[in-house]
């Protein structure tokens, strides 16, 4: 997934702001269109119907909190190997 991609997850329209893949894992930072809320998510994948899903997500109102969480999740993910 590349930054700038607009996609849908469970009826939410989202914009990818940052995304990093390592082996079979990934972490993304997204913004929800309806209210501007930021979401960090792990293991985002495309479904057969073209929509997306993820293993879990954290939701933030403030950019600084979301960016910090994204960087922490990225650092955490990079500590493990497939």
Q: pTM of the predicted model, to two decimals?
A: 0.87
- Is 68 part of a structural domain of the chain? yes
Evaluate if residue 61 carries a pLDDT over 90.
Answer: yes
- Is 1 part of a structural domain of the chain? no
Distance, CA of 19 to CA of 2 (rounded, Å): 7
Tokens standing for 42?
């792990």
3-class DSSP assignment, residue 21: strand
- Is 38 part of a structural domain of the chain? yes
Please, are residues 68 and 18 in contact by the beta-carbon 8 Å criterion? no
Say what the pLDDT of residue 11 is. 83
CATH number, domain at 52?
A: 3.10.450
Please, are residues 25 and 35 in contact by the beta-carbon 8 Å criterion? no
Say what the pLDDT of residue 5 is. 92
Domain span at 16: 6-78
pLDDT band at 82 (very low <50, low <70, confident <90, very high): low
**Tens digit of each residue's pLDDT (9 = 90 or more) over 5-46:** 998 888 889 999 999 998 888 999 999 999 999 999 998 888
Domain count, the chain: 1
């Amino acid at each position: 997934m590349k930054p700038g991609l607009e996609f849908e997850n469970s009826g939410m329209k989202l914009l990818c702001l940052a995304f990093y893949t390592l082996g079979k894992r990934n972490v993304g930072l997204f913004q929800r269109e309806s209210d501007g809320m930021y979401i960090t998510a792990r293991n985002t994948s495309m479904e057969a119907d073209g929509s997306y899903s993820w293993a879990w997500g954290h939701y933030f109102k403030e950019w600084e909190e979301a960016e910090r969480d994204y960087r922490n999740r990225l650092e955490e993910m990079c500590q493990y190997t497939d």
